[in-house]
């Protein structure tokens, strides 16, 4: 009997190669961890999100209806950590409640603006020619206006409310994302593997959503993070002018507007909402700058 079968080697289990995209994200995360400013920004953002989710259930006073008219414009104390406003409402409770409102405006406005801007940018960059010209000329018209002025115009037409503020800030952010995505799309669509996909008969939608969009996420993430900071400033500015959140909504910009009348005799009324805006904007700017450095292939780990 032949013994040739006795030494047959067992088939080896195929080793799955590492996912290059996963490896790239790990590299970005490692770079981000080494950037102290980005870490500070990320920690602040996490704290703000926790405050927005949990804070309203832990506030010592109702931010809307608990009024102590005998204790108006009281300075910070053990009973009222941030003092009281001109209606005797606890400023600390109102600042905590306003965290969720401010973050909601920032996140949702940029989510809406980025979604529309990404779609228009990819369509313009991928198809080019007349489609590109029409879309980008519209974006140029929108970019001709300062973002806060454009948002102010839109809210003036639509009317003052938080929903209209989100719409206004979203529209003002569309051109920025459209231009960034268009430029990235123009670079990626010239690569050889895109030509190979076309030769294999892949549809335009498959090429766009499966091969182009995943490879241009880096600048989108960076711009989205920085744009949230701008959105918070714009929304607060509109509320400061009385075109955003309406009383008695505890929105930081509206609270800052109420406090401007008491800067001399009760500066704490405007101080703490103003500090809250500064911390939120600073946090997103620090994280955005860190993400920009982390996604840069020229930087070393």
Q: Percent of the chain having pLDDT more than 90?
A: 42
Which residues are CB-contacts of 116 (< 8 A; sequence separation ≥ 6)? 170, 174, 177
| Mean of all residue pLDDT scores within the chain | 85
Q: How many CB atoms lie within 10 A of CB 64?
A: 14
- β-bridge partners, 154: none
Of 7-16, 36-45, 100-109, 165-174, the least confident: 7-16
pTM of the model: 0.86
| Rounded Cα distance, 240 and 232, in Å | 12
The three state secondary structure string of the chain is CCCCCCCCCCCCCCCCCCCHHHHHHHHHHHHHHHCHHHHHHHHHHHHHHHHHHHHHHCCCCCCCCCCCHHHCCCCCCCCCCCCECCCCCEHHHHHHHHHHHHHHHHHHHHHHHHHHHHHHHHHHHHHCHHHHHHHHHHHHHHHCCCHHHHHHHHHHHHCCCHHHHHHHHHHHHHHHHHHHHHHHHHHHCCCHHHHHHHHCCCCHHHHHHHHHHHHHHHHHHHHHHHHHHHHHHHHHHHHHCCCCCCCCCCCHHHHHHHHHHHCCCCCHHHHHHHHHHHHHHHHHHHHHHHHHHHHCCCCCC
Domain boundaries, the chain: 35-61+88-295
Give the confidence band of 283 by pLDDT, cuts at 50, 70, 90. Answer: very high
φ/ψ region of 219 (left if φ > 0, alpha if ψ in -120 to 50, else beta) reads: alpha
Work out the average pLDDT over 58-63. 86
| Rounded Cα distance, 277 and 102, in Å | 9
Domain 35-61+88-295 has CATH 3.40.50.720: no
Give the confidence band of 22 by pLDDT, cuts at 50, 70, 90. Answer: low
Give the confidence band of 293 by pLDDT, cuts at 50, 70, 90. Answer: confident
Residue 76 pLDDT greater than 70, yes or no: yes
pLDDT digits (tens, 9 = 90+) for 94-144: 999 999 999 999 999 999 999 999 999 999 999 988 999 999 999 999 888
Of 111-120, 168-177, 200-209, the least confident: 200-209
pLDDT at 148: 82
């Amino acid at each position: 009997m032949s013994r040739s079968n006795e030494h047959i080697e067992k088939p080896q289990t195929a080793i799955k190669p590492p996912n290059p995209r996963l490896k790239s994200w790990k590299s970005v995360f490692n770079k981000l961890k080494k950037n102290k400013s980005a870490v500070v920004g990320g920690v602040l953002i996490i704290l703000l999100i926790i405050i927005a989710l949990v804070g309203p259930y832990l506030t010592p006073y109702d931010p809307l209806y608990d009024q102590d008219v005998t204790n108006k414009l009281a300075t910070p104390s053990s009973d009222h950590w941030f003092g009281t406003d001109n209606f005797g409402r606890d400023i600390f409770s109102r600042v905590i409640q306003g965290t969720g409102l401010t973050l909601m405006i920032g996140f949702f406005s940029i989510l809406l603006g980025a979604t529309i801007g990404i779609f228009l940018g990819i369509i313009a960059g991928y198809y080019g020619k007349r489609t590109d010209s029409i879309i980008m000329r519209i974006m140029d018209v929108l970019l001709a206006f300062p973002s806060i002025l454009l948002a102010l115009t839109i809210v003036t037409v639509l009317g003052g409310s938080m929903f209209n503020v989100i719409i206004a800030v979203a529209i003002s952010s569309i051109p920025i994302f459209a231009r960034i995505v268009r430029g990235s799309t123009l670079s990626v669509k010239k690569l050889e593997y895109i030509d190979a996909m076309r030769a294999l008969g892949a549809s335009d939608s498959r090429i766009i959503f499966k091969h182009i969009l995943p490879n241009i996420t880096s600048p989108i993430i960076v711009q989205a993070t920085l744009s949230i900071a701008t959105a918070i400033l714009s929304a607060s500015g509109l509320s400061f002018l009385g075109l955003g959140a309406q009383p008695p909504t505890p929105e930081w910009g509206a609270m800052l507007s109420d406090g401007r009348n008491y800067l001399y005799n009760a500066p704490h009324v405007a101080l703490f909402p103003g500090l809250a805006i500064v911390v939120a904007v600073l946090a997103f700017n620090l994280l955005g700058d860190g993400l920009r450095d982390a996604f840069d292939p020229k930087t070393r780990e």
